[in-house]
């Protein structure tokens, strides 16, 4: 015969059932989480591809509005910077989009407009990269960046001597672009305008 001790309106038998149910739900959740397939990385879309639907999913509402208003940026800067407490646990994606013909420079933080500033009109006739900023993210390595840019290779550049060698920081210069790979991840990219 089972003994039941009452404590208020709950019994120890009921408490055991609830604890068992909570433990079962937690175990099931952990099992599902551990077995779940990680989300697939968005495949970079080359600038020459006609995949507007896929590209539009990678842009925020603010960014889509800017593209609808001004078109694609002629130049851009993409940077991932550490955020958080002293241990710098997270990364923030910062983007600066340049519209020389509209005299605008628009800065985004995590996809939201941070600032809109005036910029000077270029004095010379300039040719810009066809790269689309939404095709690049932190998870990309050198090979994936080159593939997304649609170029064969980018030359390593040295701007600080061997100071960053231990940290596995490598910078490259390609056709109308420069980018940095840190420990196998894209952390900085800037497209360049080239005088025609």
Question: Taking the domains of the chain in order of start, what are their residue ranges?
Answer: 6-35, 52-195
Residues 60 and 45: their CA atoms lie apart, in Å, by 17
Q: What is the pLDDT of residue 159?
A: 65
Per DSSP, the residues of 84-126 read SSTT--EEEEEEEEEEGGGTEEEEEETTEEEEEEE-PPPSS-E
Q: Is 13 helix (H, G, I), strand (E, B) or coil?
A: helix
Q: Where are the beta strands (DSSP E) in the chain?
A: 6-7, 10-11, 75-83, 90-99, 104-109, 112-118, 126-127, 155-157, 169-174, 177-182, 185-191, 194-195
- pTM beyond 0.85: the answer is no
Residues 10 and 15: their CA atoms lie apart, in Å, by 7
In order along its 196 residues, the chain shows pLDDT tens digits of 443 333 444 344 444 454 444 444 333 333 333 333 333 333 333 333 343 334 445 799 999 999 999 999 999 999 998 887 666 578 889 999 999 989 999 999 989 999 999 998 777 788 999 999 999 999 999 999 999 999 999 999 876 655 555 567 899 999 999 999 999 999 999 999 888 7
Q: Is 10 helix (H, G, I), strand (E, B) or coil?
A: strand
Q: What is the pLDDT of residue 164?
A: 54
Check: CB of residue 186 under 8 Å from CB of residue 141.
yes
């Amino acid at each position: 015969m089972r003994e039941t001790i009452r404590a208020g309106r709950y019994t120890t038998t009921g408490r055991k059932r609830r604890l068992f149910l909570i433990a079962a739900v937690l175990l099931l959740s952990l099992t599902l989480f551990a077995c779940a397939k990680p989300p697939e990385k968005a495949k970079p879309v080359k600038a020459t591809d006609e995949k507007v639907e896929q590209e539009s999913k990678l842009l925020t509402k603010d960014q889509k509005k800017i593209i609808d208003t001004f078109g694609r940026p002629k130049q851009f800067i993409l940077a991932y910077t550490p955020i958080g407490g002293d241990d710098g646990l997270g990364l923030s994606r910062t983007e600066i989009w340049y519209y020389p013909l509209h005299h605008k420079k628009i800065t985004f933080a995590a996809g939201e407009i941070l600032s809109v500033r005036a910029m000077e009109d270029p004095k010379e006739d300039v040719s810009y990269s066809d790269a689309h900023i939404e095709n690049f993210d932190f998870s990309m390595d050198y090979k994936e960046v080159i593939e997304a840019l649609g170029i064969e290779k980018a030359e390593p550049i040295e701007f600080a001597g061997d100071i960053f060698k231990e940290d596995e920081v490598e910078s490259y210069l390609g056709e109308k672009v420069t980018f940095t790979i840190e420990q196998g991840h894209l952390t900085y990219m800037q497209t360049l305008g080239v005088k025609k």
